[in-house]
Amino acid sequence: MFGSMAQSGLFDSVLRDRLCSMNLKKIWPFFAALLSGVLLALCYPTWDISALIWFWALPILTALWFSEPGNKKDGRARSRAWRGWWLGYVGGLAFFLINMSWLAEVSIGGAIALPFYLAVYFGFWGAFAATIGRWDPADQELVEGQVLSGWQKFFAPSWAVLRAAFLNGAMWCGLEWMRGVAFTGMGWNGLGVALHENLYLIQVVDIIGVSGLSFVLMFCACISLATVVRLIHEFGNRGVRPHLDFTVGIAMIMAVFLYGLNRINQAPGETKDIRALLVQMNVPIDQKWDDAFLSENMNDYYNLTTAYVETSHYDLVVWPETAVPGRFFYPWVQEVFNRVLASGDFYLISGIEEEVQPAEVYNSAVLMKGTTRNYQMYRKVHLVPFGEYIPLRGIFPPFEWVAGRLIPSDFEFGKEFEPLVLDGGEYQVIPLICFEDTIGSLARKFVRAGVPQVIVNVTNDGWFWESAGSAQHLANARFRCIELRRPMVRSANTGVSCFIDELGSLFDRESNPPFERKIADDVTGSTFVTGVLPGTVRMRIDSPLTVYARFGDWFSISMGCLALVMVLIRNRKIISNQNKG
């Protein structure tokens, strides 16, 4: 009896150990993917631990490359691509749920639904990395099934790693580009944005764009993991081989750094300087359209502005998006603007709603001087879905049901990409409203060669209160200055109103010591304050066109197409093998 009990206990112990081992094999890859998503979220504001951008992908790559998908109940092998998709999706979902949690200030549903959609792009990359982009150390001695020898065997491991790193980087940056254009686009916080404070490493985006910089980061992440695995294997076998892949990775980083060093130390050339004034009222979003606060808010705009323009000369005054909560041709709105314009000889640019007819309303930016009769208008081209319009309104019944409760009517899409002209054409303004300054492919359409230009962004980040949304918005916006080599001024209702130079820096480097040119509390550093910021904007007179300004996201599109070709080739081989079988 006791022997039977002992045998039964031993059997139960072995069974438990085996079940634990089996469960661990099944779930550790998903924990690794989850960890990568969390680490990636920590790379951006509010945490801003940018050093993690070099390491965040190591757990999920380990899972994609080295975990086995196992078998189905009928004994057939599970699809590595399908498992890779789910691993990528889990990592992406963890990242976006944390990274975009500030959306909950506006809509909890949106803060959940949008990450579930955006994670799909991580899923496609995961499927690719687990199959076509997979690096398997066991296969590094073979090429197309043939055993290598001599010098080929010596360098084969490095070539295998370089191939995997290149393909994964290509697929990643191609998908980042696609995420930025599909369904009006949401390219928010690509990998490259995590380096927004490292001016030396981000200057290369004037050639390859910010999504192209993500290629460099993913390429280096793949090489880092492969190098660690190879060294462990080689030390265990007491036979270290050349690491050409590691050398290439270091050389790529050095090339990017030296390019940035050269751009930063390059003489700016002749510039046209203007004095600009940014006004940030910090009006709470629940008071902005409340008639009880209207008179007080308009008086505050008038008093803050005139206190500066009546004592010093300014060329340009910038108010934020929908600074005046009415429509441009309303008599009282005209009175507000004319009262301010009469206080000095300057241009005023402000966000405003423009009603052409009752059914045609635009979110616009108006530029005026002297009187509202002398105005130029830019109508926002890139509207925010479910914020400024309802997609498929009147076609898809569920959206129509939501539309009547959330957004009674849509804004119309602007269609023009013409810069606003100042001083008879001496310089131009590239007008961008709200999140348009996060979209390089849109901003580049306003660029004109041979004319000094400044990007002016008017935004209202007050919707997101004192969350990470405004800091992330600024981090993304800085890359437009580098991609186009144009300075930027940003006026926010609240959040971050600042000056950014063509290197993507907020600092006035000509002052000693340099200071950050943004509206912030002197003691706490908070940017959620009422304030006015004067500054000098330096625009290059020669106003050259960068590679990015000329050709846009050519690099990311090329890499994405290459990855797609590899997918088609692989599928063709699979179909061919199935037919032979």
Q: What is the pLDDT of residues 376-390, one digit of tens each?
A: 999 999 988 777 777
Helix (H) or strand (E) run with residue 538 in it = strand 531-540
- Indicate the range of 77-91, 167-181, 229-243, 555-569 predicted with least confidence: 229-243
User: Cα–Cα distance between 84 and 123 in angstroms, integer?
Assistant: 7
Give the count of alpha carbons within 13 A of 24, CB side only: 6
Classify 428 as helix, strand or coil.
Answer: strand
pLDDT of residue 74: 58
Place of tokens 């005026």: 368
Q: Kindly tell me if the per-residue pLDDT of 540 is higher than 90.
A: yes
User: Cα–Cα distance between 581 and 578 in angstroms, integer?
Assistant: 5
pLDDT of residue 438: 95
Q: Kindly tell me if the per-residue pLDDT of 421 is higher than 60.
A: yes
Most confidently modeled of 102-116, 127-141, 466-480, 499-513?
466-480
Q: Within 10 Å of residue 30's Cβ, how many Cβ atoms? A: 17
Instruction: Please report which confidence band the pLDDT of residue 150 belongs to, taking 50, 70 and 90 as the band edges.
Output: low
Q: Within 10 Å of residue 515's Cβ, how many Cβ atoms? A: 11
Q: Kindly tell me if the per-residue pLDDT of 1 is higher than 50.
A: no
Q: What is the pLDDT of residues 3-32, one digit of tens each?
A: 443 444 554 555 455 545 656 778 999 999
User: Cα–Cα distance between 184 and 381 in angstroms, integer?
Assistant: 10
- Give mean pLDDT, residues 507-511: 82
User: Cα–Cα distance between 420 and 448 in angstroms, integer?
Assistant: 11
Q: Kindly tell me if the per-residue pLDDT of 139 is higher than 70.
A: no
- Give mean pLDDT, residues 44-67: 96
Arithmetic mean of pLDDT over the chain: 89
Which of 265, 262, 242 has the alpha carbon at shortest distance from 254? 262
- Give mean pLDDT, residues 313-330: 96
pLDDT of residue 75: 57
Q: What is the pLDDT of residues 468-488, one digit of tens each?
A: 999 999 999 999 999 999 999
Per the model's pLDDT, the better-predicted residue between 285 and 195 turns out to be: 195
Q: Where are the domains of the chain?
A: 21-134, 137-268, 271-381+416-541, 387-413
Q: Kindly tell me if the per-residue pLDDT of 143 is higher than 50.
A: no
Q: Kindly tell me if the per-residue pLDDT of 422 is higher than 70.
A: yes
- Give me the amino acid identity at 390: I
**Topology of domain 271-381+416-541, CATH:** Nitrilase/N-carbamoyl-D-aminoacid amidohydrolase (3.60.110)
User: Cα–Cα distance between 447 and 483 in angstroms, integer?
Assistant: 11
User: Cα–Cα distance between 289 and 165 in angstroms, integer?
Assistant: 52
Q: Kindly tell me if the per-residue pLDDT of 219 is higher than 90.
A: yes
> At a CB cut-off of 8 Å and minimum separation 6, what does 287 contact?
293, 297
> At a CB cut-off of 8 Å and minimum separation 6, what does 419 contact?
428, 429, 430, 431, 446, 448, 453
pLDDT of residue 495: 85
- Indicate the range of 9-13, 35-39, 219-223 predicted with least confidence: 9-13
- Give mean pLDDT, residues 521-531: 94
Place of tokens 């429509």: 327
Per the model's pLDDT, the better-predicted residue between 15 and 278 turns out to be: 278
Which of 323, 253, 334 has the alpha carbon at shortest distance from 294? 323
Q: Kindly tell me if the per-residue pLDDT of 576 is higher than 60.
A: yes
- Indicate the range of 111-125, 383-397, 423-437, 563-577 predicted with least confidence: 383-397
- Give mean pLDDT, residues 160-184: 94
Q: Kindly tell me if the per-residue pLDDT of 313 is higher than 70.
A: yes
